[in-house]
Chain A
Amino acid sequence: MAKKLMKGSEAIGEAAIQAGCKLFFGYPITPQNEIPEYMSHRLPQIGGTFVQAESEVAASNMIYGAAGSGERVFTSSSSPGISLMQEGISYIAGSELPVVLVNIMRAGPGLGGILPSQADYFQATKGGGHGDYRLLVLAPWSVQEAADLIQDAFDLADFYRNPVMILGDGLIGQMMEPVEFHPDRKPCKELKPKEWAATGCKGDRPTNIINSLFLDPAALERHNHKLQAKYEAMARDEIRCAEYGTEEPYDVLIVAYGTVARVCVTALEDLKEAGIRAAMVRPITLFPFPYAQVRAASEKAKAVLVVELSCGQMVEDVRLAVEGTRPVHFYGRQGGMLVTPEEVVDEIRRLLTVPQLEADHA
C-alpha cells in the first residue's frame, strides 16, 4: 500500500478500521477531533456504526455495552473527556471487556488548554477510576507507531479481555507524517473465539452475562485475584521499550516517552557533539512499566534524567525502578509549553555540574 501523509488522528482512525473495528462511540474534543471526524466519514463506507454520544459519560457506557457483544470497539477523547469516561472504564475493566481507548492529552488540570501535555500519566497507568484495575497503556512517539500500536491494542485487548489505552500527547494527534498500512498484518497475539460474548444464545448454551457486580465478598476477592493475575501476565509478557545509545558508555540516562523522546533523541545528538555521554530508554508500554529495563540501563549511568510534559509523573516509576541507587532528576514543561532539545542539553549540563556527580564524573 502506498504511503499516505496522515495526521496522527487520521492514522489512528484508519488503523482501528484496519484492525477490524466497526464501532465508534465518542464525543469531540480538541486536539483529537479528527479521530471522530475520520471515523464518521469512514465507518459508514464499511458497514460500521459511528455514534456521537451526548457526552463522554454516555460514550464510555456505549463502548461498555457494545464490547459485551464481542465486537471490536473503540473510543477516543482528550484529557477532560477521558476524566468523564472513568466510571465506564472501571466497569469495563471490572467486567473484563476488550475495548481500545485513545487519550490525546492536552494540558490540564480542569479544562486547561488545547496544547500538548503528558499530565495524564497517573490517570492512565495508576487507574483513573475506582477499584483495583489497570489499563494496558501504550505510548507511541510517531504517527506510524500510533497506527501500529492501535492495531496491536485491539489484539491485546481481546487477548487479556481488558481495556487498552493509547496515550499520546497532543502532537501525536495533530502532527503529520508518512504512514503505511499492512493489510496482511497478523495479530500480535493468538486469539481465541469470544465464547464469553453476550450474542444471544437461543437456549443452546448457558447465558453469558456481562457484569461487574459481585455482592459475595469472597467471590469479589477471587475476581480481584483473577484480575491481578492478568496484570502480572502483562508485566511478564507485554513490556515494550526502546533504547538509544545504551551500547556505548554514558554518564546520564534519559527516560522519556512519546514525542518528548523524539526531542531527547535530537538532544542526544547535540550532547554527543558536545562530548557529553548520554543515552535514553523510551518506555512504549507505560503499564506494564519497564522497571527492569530502566534499572539495568540506569546502572551504567551516574544519574538519570526524566523528561516529561508534566510536573513529574513517570519520574515516580523511574524512581521505583532505580530504587535509590542513582539520583533521579526531573525536567518538565507544562501548560502546553514544549521541551526543546536545547533545554534538555542545558539541563544535563546543569546536573553534570552538581558537586557529587562531578566528583563521580572526574
Chain B
Amino acid sequence: MSPGCRGALKTRTKGKWVSHHDVQSCSQHGPSRVSIQGLFSRRVTIVAGHFGSGKTEITLNAAVRLAREGQAVSLVDLDVVKPYFRSRSARELLRLSGVELVAPMGEYYSSDLPIILPQIRQRLLDRTRRVFMDAGGDDTGARVVGSLTDVIPPAESEFLLVLNFRRPFTLDVDSAVTMAREIEATGRMRLTGLLSNTHLMGETTGEVVREGFRLAAETARRLGLPLLAVAVEEGRDLGLSAEEFPCPILPITRIVKPPFEADREQRTVGPLFVVG
C-alpha cells in the first residue's frame, strides 16, 4: 500500500456498512496483508502508545522483518516507563536477526533509569540506517521523543500511535483522542498515522479486533490521521477476512512473553528469562 493514499474507510456498525469518506487511509488496491516495507516506508519510525498497546511488539516485528531482508536497522529502546517487557528483552532475537539494539547495556540494562544514550542522535542522523524507536508508555514516554526533535528529520520520519481499546485508559474514542494530543504535545511532533491493535492477548477474538478497528477508525477520523493497518497476531484463527477491513492487516508475532508460555520456541526468545 502507499501511505497517505485516499480511500473510503468503511466500518461495520450494527450490521450496516458505514463510510467515512473523510478518513485518509488504506489501499486503493483493496485490503490485503500489508508488507512491512509498505507500511513503514520512511527512514525513521517512532512508535508510541500506552503500555500494553502493543507498540513494542509491532516495533520488534517490523525491525526484525526489515533486517532479515538485508536492511541496516537500528532499534532504539526509549522505554523509561516500564521496568520489564521492553524491546531490549528480545535482545537475543534482535542480535540473531541482525538488528542493532540501542539500549543501555551492562548493569543498566535492567534499570528503569531515564538513560538517553548519545548513540541515539548519531543513528537518527545516519542516512544509511533505518531507525525504529520504541517510545515507552503514553505521554511520559513521548517526552523522550520531544528531547530528540532537533535530530529527528521530519520529512524522513513517521510518528505512529498504536491503539488498544481493551486497555483501561483507552476504552473509548475520547480517551484515545486525548492521549494522542498529549503524546503530540510532549513528543513535540505531529503523529502521522494510527495502527489498530486492539487485543486481549490469548483471549483475542475476531469481535475484539473488529470492535477495536471501529473505534480506531473513529479516532483516526477525529484526529484527521490515516489508519494505516490492523495488527493481528499471526497464526491465530480469529475468523477474520482481509475483506472486512478497508485497510491492510499487519500480521505480527508475539515476542516478549513471560517464562511460562507453553510454546517452547517462544519461551526461549522471551524477555526476562534471557537476562544475564
Contacts and interface: CB of A to CB of B under 8 A. Distances in A.
B132 interface: no
Contacts of A6: 52, 167-168
Contacts of B201: 5, 176-178
B51 A7 contact: yes
Contacts of A2: 166
| Dominant secondary structure at the B interface | loop
A339 B272 CA distance: 10
24 contacts: A4-B166, A4-B171, A5-B164, A5-B166, A6-B52, A7-B51, A10-B168, A31-B83, A113-B110, A114-B110, A114-B111, A170-B83, A170-B84, A171-B272, A174-B82, A174-B84, A174-B85, A175-B84, A175-B85, A177-B201, A262-B258, A266-B260, A266-B267, A337-B276
Interface string B43-62: 00000000110000000000
Interface of B: 51-52, 82-85, 110-112, 164, 166-169, 171, 199-203, 258-262, 267, 272-273, 275-276
A115 B200 contact: no
Interface string A308-345: 00000000000000000000000000001111110000
Pairs of residues from A and B, 7 with the lowest C-beta to C-beta distance, nearest first: A262-B260, A178-B200, A174-B84, A178-B203, A5-B166, A263-B260, A338-B273
B199 A5 contact: yes
A3 interface: yes
A30 interface: yes
B76 to A, nearest CB: 21
Interface string A106-143: 00000001111000000000000000000000000000
Contacts of A174: 82-85
Contact of B260 (A4, A5, A10, A259): A259
A340 B84 contact: no
A263 B261 CA distance: 8
B83 A30 contact: yes
A41 B110 CA distance: 27
Given A5-B199, A259-B259, 9 more contacts: A5-B166, A115-B84, A115-B272, A174-B82, A174-B85, A266-B261, A338-B259, A339-B259, A340-B267
Given A5-B200, A337-B276, A31 B84 contact: yes
A160 B168 CA distance: 33
Interface in A258-308: 259, 262-263, 265-266, 269
B52 A5 contact: yes
Contact of B112 (A114, A116, A339): A114
B273 A340 contact: yes
A148 interface: no
A177 B171 CA distance: 16
Contacts of B267: 266, 340-341
Given A30-B112, A266-B260, A3 B203 contact: yes
Given A4-B166, A10-B168, A31-B84, A265 B260 contact: yes
A171 B267 CA distance: 15
A27 to B, nearest CB: 16
A251 interface: no
Contacts of A177: 201
Contacts of B275: 115, 336-338
Contacts of A56: none
Contacts of B199: 5
Interface in A1-53: 2-7, 10, 14, 30-31, 41
Nearest to B169: A41
B88 to A, nearest CB: 13
Nearest to A41: B169
Contact of B167 (A4, A14, A31, A338): A4
A126 to B, nearest CB: 28
